[in-house]
Amino acid sequence: MKQKMFFVKISTILLLSSALFGLFVPKTAHAEDIVDITRAAGYTVNGIYRPKASIIIDATNGNVLWEDNPDLPWSPASTSKMMTVYLAFEAMEQGKFNLDTTITATETHAKISRIHALSNNKIVAGVDYPIRELLSMIIVPSSNVATVMLANLISNNDEAAFVQMMNDKCAELGMSNSMFYNCSGAQISSFQGYYAPIGIDPNADNQSSARDLSIMTYNMLKKYPEILEYTKSPVVTVMSGTPYAETFETYNHSLEGAMYSFQGMDGLKTGSSPTANFNYIGTAKRGDTSLIEVILGAGNWADQAGEHERHPFGNAILERAFSTYEYKKLLSKGSNQIDGKEISLAQDFYGVVPKNSTPKFTLENNQLLLNNGLAQVSEKIPAQSVEYTEKQPSQGSNNNKKETTKKENTTMTDSELPIIEYVVSAMVAILGGIFMVLTPMTRRPAHGRRARHSTGMRPLFLLGLILLASGITLGVLSWQMGTWFPFQF
* Binding region for substrate: 269
Alpha carbon 122 to its chain centroid, in Å, reads 37
Strand partners, 291: 58, 284
Q: What does the longest C-alpha to C-alpha distance in the chain come to?
A: 113
Q: 46: Cβ–Cβ under 8 A, 6 or more apart, which residues?
A: 309
Catalytic residue among 142, 214, 233, 290: 142
Distance CA 84, CA 482 (A): 44
Catalytic residue among 9, 54, 75, 78: 78
* Torsion angle (degrees, nearest 10) of CA 365, 371, 376, 380: -20
Distance CA 467, CA 43 (A): 48
**9 catalytic, yes or no?**
no
Distance between start and end Cα atoms, the chain: 47
Reference 388, options 422, 344, 351, 419; nearest CA is: 344
Q: Give, to the nearest 10 degrees, the angle between helix 81-93 and helix 144-154.
A: 40
**142 catalytic, yes or no?**
yes
**78 catalytic, yes or no?**
yes
Residues 56, 321 contacting (CB under 8 angstroms): yes
The CA–CA distances, whole Å, from 297 to 47, 118, 158, 271, 279 equal 13, 19, 31, 10, 6
Annotated binding site: 269
Question: What residue type is assigned to position 82 of the chain?
Answer: M
Render the burial of 309-338: b for 16+ CB within 10 Å, e for the rest: bbbbbbbbbbbbbbeebbbeebbeeeebeb
Catalytic residue among 9, 75, 80, 81: 81
Distance CA 377, CA 66 (A): 10
Which amino acids are annotated catalytic? 78, 81, 142
